Amino acid sequence: MSQSLIITWQAPVPLPACNYIVAYRAKSATSYTFVDTTGNTSGINSLTVPGLLPACYEGFVQSNCCGDNLSDLTHSYWGINAWQPLYVNVSTSGNTWTAYGTTLYGNPYATLVSGTIYYHIGGSNYTVSGSGTLPANATSGSLLIANVPQGSVFDKVLVTAISPIFDNGGTLQQRDAINTPQYFGFYNTSGCTSGATTSGCTAPVWNGSPVLLPSFTLDGFNVTSVDTMGNPTGGTISVSWIQSATFGGGSGIYSSITFQVFDSTGTTLQGSVTVPYGVAGLNSASIPILSTLGTITTGIQYLMKTLWADTSVSASQRFYLPTF
């Protein structure tokens, strides 16, 4: 099974004589795929690309006035973050109940899923909580096995947390330009599932923090300073992400994004940078850090926070530096 990428745009006035050039690529892909809509009906303002696996995509659209006459790219970029529903149901066999997760597409990373089974015996209500791992690239897996008392009656199961387990640890994924995995995020369908379909379920509402998007990646670390033994003590972390729009219109407290990097306890600041608000399409930032803890290595866990212009924290995630 595959999905379609649907790209739409507002047609300019006058219409371009040779329609449009549309470019798209999955996050971390090294090159774009170009589609020339010349020959299509004049005034077309959408393109459907079928047969794709779920992934975060970005690209641009240019008006084609024939020949080499193309519009500039000032307002032509677009982006989309991909989410997939994760369904959790419970199978009962005597006193042994198993919560299992299913999804249409396997994620290239294993996913830790935590949840709670609700049941009752007579007029008394009970719960049992736990967690399990949906394996990498798997579309189903056992998440929680519970042994309940005789006479238990199942009520519901709710997912309380979904967290990807990235190859190098932490909660921020590292860019893989060689394999270009299908970066996407699972979202919880607890309380709004009916069998294998959703009813009223939607992807998470984004709060504006780049680190919470499935397209956010740690792209590299460049050493800028070393100690007397040649061990790294400072450097720059490169990050990138895709946005579908400018959050909050880019005004007020949403006029900038500050990235801060702390030690694993979140108490000692290692470095920070403030960048303008993100725009539709691909965004990037470079975060300089200078260790106050000694040598910088890929085995040290750090904490990354994002703040708005009024210093309010929008999110925080633990991570490890990519290989350098």
Looking at residue 11, which CATH number applies to its domain?
2.60.40
Residue of 262, 160, 136, 275 whose CA lies nearest to 210: 275
More confident residue, 69 or 302: 302
Question: Is it the case that residue 75 has pLDDT exceeding 60?
Answer: yes
Question: Both 106 and 62 in a single domain?
Answer: no
What does the pLDDT average to over 294-312? 94
Question: Both 233 and 293 in a single domain?
Answer: yes
Question: What pLDDT does residue 196 have?
Answer: 47
Question: What pLDDT does residue 194 have?
Answer: 47
Question: Both 107 and 48 in a single domain?
Answer: no
Provide the number of structural domains found in the chain: 3
Q: What is the DSSP letter of 289?
A: E
Question: What pLDDT does residue 24 have?
Answer: 96
Question: Both 69 and 101 in a single domain?
Answer: no
58-69 pLDDT tens trace? 999 988 888 788
Asked if 9 and 46 count as a contact pair (C-beta separation under 8 A), the reply is yes
| Calpha distance 25→35 (Å, rounded) | 11
Question: Is it the case that residue 200 has pLDDT exceeding 60?
Answer: no
Question: What pLDDT does residue 294 have?
Answer: 84
**What type of residue is 89?**
N
Question: Both 7 and 107 in a single domain?
Answer: no
Question: Both 192 and 87 in a single domain?
Answer: yes
Does residue 76 form part of some domain? Answer: yes
Q: How much is the CA Rg of the chain, to the nearest whole Å?
A: 23
257-266 pLDDT tens trace? 999 999 988 8
Does residue 306 form part of some domain? Answer: yes
179-198 pLDDT tens trace? 777 789 998 887 665 444 55
**What type of residue is 234?**
G
Question: Both 244 and 315 in a single domain?
Answer: yes
Ramachandran sector of residue 122 (left: φ over 0; alpha: ψ -120 to 50; beta: rest): left
Does residue 204 form part of some domain? Answer: no
Least confident stretch, 18-27, 60-69, 282-291, 302-311:
60-69
Does residue 203 form part of some domain? Answer: no
Backbone angles phi, psi at 255, to 5 degrees: -75, -15
Q: What is the DSSP letter of 298?
A: T
Q: Provide the CA 48 distance to its chain's centre, in angstroms.
A: 23
Write out 167-210 in H/E/C secondary structure: CCCCCCEECCCCCCCCCCEEEECCCCEECCEECCCCCCCCCCCH
Question: Both 63 and 118 in a single domain?
Answer: no
Question: Both 88 and 193 in a single domain?
Answer: yes
79-111 pLDDT tens trace? 999 999 898 889 999 999 999 999 989 988 899
Give the tokens for residue 201: 């379920």
Question: Is it the case that residue 170 has pLDDT exceeding 60?
Answer: yes
Residue-range definition of the domain harbouring residue 44: 3-80
| Calpha distance 299→308 (Å, rounded) | 29
**What type of residue is 28?**
S
Question: Is it the case that residue 241 has pLDDT exceeding 50?
Answer: yes
| Domain end (from 80, 112, 135) | 80
What does the pLDDT average to over 194-219? 80
Question: Both 87 and 189 in a single domain?
Answer: yes
Does residue 205 form part of some domain? Answer: no
Give the tokens for residue 69: 């006459």
